[in-house]
Structure 1
Amino acid sequence: MDDKKLKILFLCTGNACRSQMAEGWTRYLKNDVIEVFSAGVETHGVDPKAMAVMKEAGVDISHHRSKHVSEFQDKQMDVVITVCDNAKESCPYFPFAGKKVHRGFEDPPALAKEIRKRGGDEQEQLDCYRKVRDEIRGFVEKLPDNVLS
């Protein structure tokens, strides 16, 4: 581990989609200045559609695994970023976290489920993943300034 890099943990409900995308983008775009981790208050496995849309963008998260927040409870983090409202509300106490920040993103699986119910096809479902993927990229591109100020 590099002590000079800022340590950031992205936290979501199931560590399946949004936090995985955030971890992937941060490794891809900010690996020189940030040591990144992701976890969930539960573990749901990595969402295959999240993997697919990240791969389209040139970022491979297929090797990621869904991790429970308890794996990080006693690790020093500079910033814990919750990326969904549920994780914000149920985020455990991190005695070794310097700062807690919330930046919520819509839930692609829930959006895709609604589209599927309305008869939407696979491409329409993937489009909501792409939208959130791109929003997360925009957030990560501004790291670390947008969480340290």
Structure 2
Amino acid sequence: MERLTVAETQPKRVHSVLFVCAMNAVRSPMAEAIARHYFGKSIYVQSAGVRKGEPNAFMVAALDEIGIDGSKHRPRTLHELEEWEGLNFDLIISLSPEAHHAALELTRTVAAEVEYWPTPDPTLVQGTREQVLDAYRNVRDGLSYRIRLRLRQGSEPQRPNEAEGS
């Protein structure tokens, strides 16, 4: 029976990650902001959407509750990101079915590992402001947990004040 070494069973260190969702308005920019918050400049992080959405105030509010500023985010598409800087990422994390399909298509021309993290779309939740915000908080907390778990492999997460440069 063949035994795998510890290095073979753990994901390789990620130097750059791209988060992709449908419109780059909620899930992927939230993931981008969280990853930057915890990993600072030790991992290059970007986000994009299959289509271009509109800035989302609930996304900004949910991040603000945990001390992360998401107010400067402007949605962009994969095509725009490719034109501006290329798509040279170690890891592409897709957060919606449509984004996963687009990420897999990218692997025809880009050498990147693709992971699919099915993430609910909080924009579909209806109810009071608090009920809607709770849906965004759930997405935020789920992404935060997965990002810290996945990206810390071979990279120490920075304490929040180090990531902010203070």
Amino acid at match of 2:146: F
Please state whether the residue corresponding to 2:91 is helix, strand or coil: strand
Q: TM-score w.r.t. structure 2 length?
A: 0.75
**Rounded Cα–Cα distance in structure 1 between residues aligned with 2:26 and 2:19:** 11
Q: Does 2:39 align with 1:30?
A: yes
Give the aligned residue type for 1:87. A
1:51 maps to which residue?
Answer: 60
* Separation (CA, whole Å) in 1 of partners of 2:128 and 2:20: 30
| Counterpart-to-counterpart distance in 2, 1:97 and 1:80 | 10
TM norm structure 1: 0.83
AA of the residue aligned to 2:102: S
Structure 1, unmatched stretches of 5+, are none
- How big is the alpha-carbon RMSD for the aligned residues of Structure 1 and Structure 2? 1.9
How far 1:75 sits from its partner (Å)?
Answer: 2.9
Alignment correspondent of 1:100: 114
Superposed, 1:1-149 pairs within 5 Å as 6-73=15-82, 74-91=86-103, 92-94=105-107, 95-110=109-124, 112=125, 116=126, 120-144=127-151
Equivalent-residue separation in structure 2 for 1:96 and 1:90 (angstroms) = 12
Aligned residues: 136
- Unpaired runs of 5+ in structure 2? 1-12, 154-166
1:54-106: CA deviation from partner (whole Å, max 9, x where unpaired): 11111001011101101343331111110111211233424233211111111
> What is residue 157 of structure 2 aligned with on the other side?
none
- Alignment partner, residue 9 of structure 2: none
